[in-house]
A = this chain, B = another copy of it.
Amino acid sequence: MGRTSDAKVRLMDAVLELIWTGSYGTTTIDQICEKAGVKKGSFYYFFESKSHLAAAAFDESWKVNRGKLDGIFSATLPPLDRLRRYCDYAYQFQSEIRGKYGKVLGCPQVSLGCEVCTQEDVLQQKIKQILEQKRKYIESAVRDAHAAGDIDAPDAEAKSKMIMAYYEGVLTQARIQNDVEALKDAYLGVFAILGVRVCSIATAPAAKVQQPA
């Protein structure tokens, strides 16, 4: 074995941040290399193109992020609490992002997916796949809520697609408007879609979502 380095992960971190804070199209390989502190030769040693790097980076990032969602959507929690926590998490997280970057950045997968879906097929497939996995969390929460008699939603898949559209829609709006406030009440929309009488929930908000280290 030769020596090891973290240049690969630095490149992945860099591209994620550049795409998220800007866009895929305007992010250049030179920029990525500069931010990562990696020379262009090394870039081409590790990745064959910008799109391959981006796909790898989103894949890797999702593996990490999944753990957070596993916690939020823990099966030990009442199903509607999980959804509530998911909304709270979005607000919390985007607020942090706003503090860090001065801007609300929304959902990386949707932003990138929306931008490249007609152009970059490999990347596009990766994004679709991640978003589909995200939806599964919602779907099983809805199914559990129905089974528990909390809501009437025999078609959990259909409901989860609605909620997903709404949730990602709110995040996209937050990005475009550069405003986190709409996220604060996002759960109201989710519960409305599910036909939950919100008053009974609003008085007992879920505990704050813990940020992992």
* A127 partner residues in chain B, CB cutoff 8 A: 176
**Dominant secondary structure of chain A at its interface with chain B:** helix
Q: Per a CB cutoff under 8 Å, which of B103, B111, B168 touches A173?
A: B168
Does any Cβ of B come within 8 Å of A67's Cβ?
no
Closest 5 CB pairs of A and B: A25-B25, A169-B169, A165-B169, A113-B176, A162-B189
Interface string of A153-183 (1 = CB under 8 A from B): 0000010011011111110110111100010
Residues of B within 8 A of A56 (CB): none
Task: Give this chain's copy count.
Answer: 2
Q: Is residue A203 within 8 Å, beta carbon to beta carbon, of the partner chain?
A: no
Asked if A128 lies at the interface with its beta carbon under 8 angstroms from chain B, I say yes
The residue of chain B having its C-beta at the shortest distance from the C-beta of A127 within the complex is B176
A26, closest chain B residue (CB):
B25
Q: Which of A23, A162, A169, A177 is packed against the most chain B CB atoms within 10 Å?
A: A169
Interface residues of A in 20-45 (CB under 8 A from B): 21-26
Least CB separation from A167: chain B residue: B169
Q: How large is the interface on A (under 10, 10 to 19, 20 to 34, 35 or more residues)?
A: 35 or more
Asked, given contacts A182-B165, A189-B165, whether A25 binds B172 with beta carbons under 8 Å apart, the answer is no
Q: Which residue of B lies closest to A132 (CB)?
A: B177
Residues of B within 8 A of A177 (CB): 128
**Contact (Cβ within 8 A) B117 A176:** yes
Given the complex, which residues of B lie within 8 Å of A158, measured CB to CB? 185, 188
Known: A25-B115, A26-B25, A161-B182. A172 touches B175 (CB 8 A): no
User: Distance (Å) between the CB of A104 and the closest chain B CB?
Assistant: 9
Bound Cα distance A175, B111 (Å): 12
Judge whether A69 is part of the interface by a CB distance below 8 angstroms: no
Tell whether, in the assembled complex, residue A106 and residue B115 are in contact, meaning their CB atoms are under 8 Å apart: no
